[in-house]
């Protein structure tokens, strides 16, 4: 396959974003694109998204001193949404897309940002390290599924059950707000579990269930497609 064929394949990918908050996010991104200054580029926005993850980590680390520092974490989460959601949106709006470069850089740095966020959870007094890292592992499995599906099926889908990165960010901000005033602890034989632990476990189990279901479904679907093409020869 030539370089041009690969480029066409990337551009052909269908973006599927059936989000719970899509009715709010889509017009917000459109407005932001229309009112962004000329000096603001997709690369700058990508950098902002990564730096924002570091800001969020700092807030979680400082929350060991006082819960009010969770406001910094929430600000970092919001800023990460801005950078991560706007880089591709602005490139498409200005028709300056670089499909290969953009796809590679965006998803590579997304993985780094996710690691920083989960390390932040673990560095705070609100989540266990083992729970945070286990949930991160499942989150990475979902990332692999998204990228594999994009390559094999030509469909870029980051939302499942109308839940995507934006909804997860909103959930985290809501939890941060609650934790500034109330930090419930459940003592079990396996140790103490806090609100973040419970939410991370629920997300991890849910994501893993979706991962298994989608892997089995797509395996059968893609096998049937390929075998059907073989029979046509």
pLDDT digits (tens, 9 = 90+) for 25-67: 999 999 999 999 999 999 999 999 999 999 999 999 999 999 9
**pTM for the complete prediction?**
0.90
Return mean pLDDT, the chain: 91
In angstroms, the CA 185 to CA 126 distance is 9
Please name the fold of domain 16-232.
Answer: 1.20.120
SS3 label, residue 194: strand
In angstroms, the CA 163 to CA 179 distance is 22
The first and second tokens of residue 108, run together, are: 């590579």
Reply yes or no on whether the pLDDT at 231 is more than 90.
no
Question: Cβ distance 56 to 73 under 8 Å?
Answer: yes
**Alpha carbon 108 to chain centroid distance?**
12
In angstroms, the CA 54 to CA 58 distance is 6
SS3 label, residue 128: coil
In angstroms, the CA 233 to CA 229 distance is 7
Domain extents for the chain? 16-232
Reply yes or no on whether the pLDDT at 5 is more than 70.
no
For residue range 14-25, what is the model confidence (pLDDT) as tens digits? 777 788 999 999
Q: What is the pLDDT of residue 197?
A: 94
Question: Cβ distance 48 to 55 under 8 Å?
Answer: no
Q: What is the pLDDT of residue 134?
A: 97
Within 10 Å of residue 169's Cβ, how many Cβ atoms? 20
Reply yes or no on whether the pLDDT at 12 is more than 70.
no
E strand or H helix at 186? strand 185-188
């Amino acid at each position: 396959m030539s370089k041009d064929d690969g480029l066409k394949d990337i551009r052909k990918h269908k973006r599927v974003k059936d989000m719970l908050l899509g009715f709010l996010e889509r017009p917000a991104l459109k407005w932001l694109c229309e009112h962004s200054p000329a000096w603001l580029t997709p690369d700058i926005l990508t950098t902002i998204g990564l730096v924002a993850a570091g800001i969020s980590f700092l807030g979680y680390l400082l929350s060991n001193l006082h819960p009010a520092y969770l406001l910094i974490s929430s600000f970092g989460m919001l800023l990460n949404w801005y950078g991560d959601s706007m880089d591709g949106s602005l490139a498409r709006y200005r028709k300056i897309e670089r499909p290969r470069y953009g796809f590679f850089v965006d998803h590579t740095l997304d993985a780094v940002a996710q690691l920083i966020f989960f390390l932040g959870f673990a560095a705070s007094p609100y989540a266990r390290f083992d729970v945070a890292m286990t949930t991160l592992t499942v989150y990475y499995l979902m990332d692999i599924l998204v990228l594999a599906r994009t390559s094999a099926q030509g469909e870029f889908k980051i939302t499942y059950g109308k839940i995507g990165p934006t909804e997860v960010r909103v959930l985290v901000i809501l939890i941060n707000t609650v934790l500034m005033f109330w930090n419930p602890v459940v003592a079990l034989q396996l140790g103490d579990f806090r609100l973040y632990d419970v939410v991370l476990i629920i997300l991890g189990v849910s994501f893993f269930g979706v991962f298994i279901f989608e892997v089995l479904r797509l395996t059968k679907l893609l096998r049937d497609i390929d075998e059907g093409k073989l029979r046509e020869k």
